[in-house]
Structure 1
Amino acid sequence: MSAEKSEKRLLSSLQNALQILRSYTLDNPLQGITDISNNLGLGKSTVHRLVTTLAEEGFLIKDKETQKYRLGYSVLALSGVVTSNLDIYNESLPVVRNLVNKVDETAHIGVLDDGHIIYLLKVECNHLVRFLTHVGRRNPLHCTSSGKVMLAHQTPEYINDYIENGLKGYTKSTITNPRLLNKTLEEIREKGYATSYEELLEGVHSVAAPIRDYTGKVISSITTVGPKQRITLSKIPFFAKNVMEAANEISMKMGYMKRMRLS
């Protein structure tokens, strides 16, 4: 086998191994060889070889009862390294906790990742009803307040490319019209915050604001989310005010100095 073919085979195996790891979610925490093969469209022999290697390295653990695999402690160790070295995580945690105490709803920090919003941090509120969101969860941009905040501050080319990939409808309230989405993004830039009214999940409302770095670039978003019975339309100004204040506090910690308007 030539060196070039050997390198391509190695890269293909690496890509497949990463796809296997990314196929695990809170909704799908346990998978067998057949499950992975069917979900990813890979041959069973290929999956078996890669899963065996991942298990040997501690990235997967085999359940003795079901003979299926779950994520191992090596993934947790890497997660700890990532979060401990992320300035946004370290600087935002106390602010997010304070926000949750003020509004009594769950809050997240999210970042843009390959056309999705991915959550880096989550602080739960004290209410018994909680939402099936978690650190590492990826959600669409056009139907979440955190996603729309991030999308609103991307380049026109990025926004157009996102729209051209299709605006999937998740509920009857999801924005699927490109013109309406562009108008919404313009309003978000003007107001300084975004909302989502049952656009991803029925009965769920959320409010988000952008977090900036020292250059003024939007690098992440902070969101508060709850049932529509608690985050009512009449209370949006209250939630928006607190979310924007939290976003500004984190931005300042990241080195952003808000320019003063001259009178």
Structure 2
Amino acid sequence: MVQAVRRAARILRELATSGPRLGVTELADRMGVAKPTAHALLRTLEAEGLVVQDRESSKYQLGPDLVQLGNAYLDTQELRTRSVTWADLLATRTGEAVWVAVLNGEQILVVHHAFRPEGAVQILEVGASIPWSTCALGKAVVAFAPEEDRTRLLGGQLAVLTGASITDPAALAEQLERVAGTGYAVEEQESALGDAGIAAPVFDRSGAVAGAIGIVGPVERLLAAPGTGDIAGTGNGGGAGNGGGAVRQELAVAVRETARSLSRDLGAPRGTPVPVRRDGP
């Protein structure tokens, strides 16, 4: 690998996660390089519009050209392109906001967001990044990922965003097994207090999991009557399966059916097993 490129990428990641503004000395210390090296990399990135220097503080922050690059990725992301119509239909059918996401390292990246049909003020979440283990979208993807990927992710550090976030790898592994059996995942206040999600995996033309589609909203609306039953056998594990009733069941069916239709639109073979998990190609 080219060391200069890796260092440049490291600078962008540091600014994205530790910023919004960092000085040359701070970046050099974080990267373990000499200050002149960090300065040279920053000046090159600045010339390309990938970082900009604040005039008052002389510190650097991410540049505007990254927006263009990010939009280009979204425009060429086939799952996002194919999901637009299906996400709108799911939002209309359930009355909830719909997210479409892909796995990016240990994070789930939201590539499309269909607003809840009701005219309340809503914030566009495209580009949001969420730890995979704290959301239904992440669990839906990882439950159907190859065994080696699941093992790696379960062996990594499991994020804690709320008191309901699952930090026990064994408990999370059991939950993924249930997701693989039902074809959908549930999250209850593991990413944000008061919020819940229901998501199902989406498969591509090779039959591999390409991402997930799901609904997000208030826990009392999505999971209705917490603690009253376990409709789909996903109980235990940070509250992810608690809650029940006809509302949850109807929403889960709607999500799973939409995911299946989107998979077909992506060219997934008609024999692609949902909800049976598929390991490897």
- Structure 1 length-normalised TM: 0.81
Q: Which moved more, 1:165-174 or 1:222-231?
A: 165-174
TM-aligned CA distance change 1:103 to 1:63, over 3 Å: farther
2:256: which partner in 1?
Answer: 244
- CA distance in 1 between counterparts of 2:180 and 2:8 reads 40
1:150: which partner in 2?
Answer: 141
Out of 110, 113, 117, the position equivalent to 2:104 is 113
- CA distance in 1 between counterparts of 2:16 and 2:40 reads 21
Give the CA deviation at 1:91: 0.9
Structure 2 unmatched ranges of 5 or more: 225-244, 274-281
Q: Which amino acid aligns with 1:226?
A: G
Give CA deviations for 1:184-212 in whole Å, capped at 9, x if unaligned.
11111111110110112222211111001
- CA distance in 1 between counterparts of 2:123 and 2:165 reads 22
2:132 alignment partner, SS class:
coil
- Structure 2 length-normalised TM: 0.76
TM-aligned CA distance change 1:232 to 1:74, over 3 Å: same
2:232: which partner in 1?
Answer: none
CA RMSD of aligned residues (A): 2.8
- CA distance in 2 between counterparts of 1:134 and 1:41 reads 33
1:5: which partner in 2?
Answer: none
Structure 1 unmatched ranges of 5 or more: 1-7
Q: Which amino acid aligns with 2:84?
A: L
Q: Which amino acid aligns with 2:90?
A: L
TM-aligned CA distance change 1:101 to 1:22, over 3 Å: farther
The alignment covers a number of residue pairs equal to: 250
- CA distance in 1 between counterparts of 2:20 and 2:27 reads 12
- CA distance in 2 between counterparts of 1:260 and 1:68 reads 51
Give CA deviations for 1:221-260 in whole Å, capped at 9, x if unaligned.
1122122233233432232222222212211111124339
CA contact (8 A) 2:188 2:195 kept: yes
TM-aligned CA distance change 1:92 to 1:62, over 3 Å: same
**Matched-pair identity in %:** 26
- CA distance in 2 between counterparts of 1:38 and 1:106 reads 42
CA contact (8 A) 2:207 2:268 kept: yes
2:200 alignment partner, SS class:
strand
1:149 alignment partner, SS class:
helix
Give the CA deviation at 1:43: 4.6
Give the CA deviation at 1:183: 1.7
Give the CA deviation at 1:38: 5.7
Q: Which amino acid aligns with 1:87?
A: E
Q: Which moved more, 1:156-165 or 1:65-74?
A: 65-74
Give the CA deviation at 1:215: 2.7
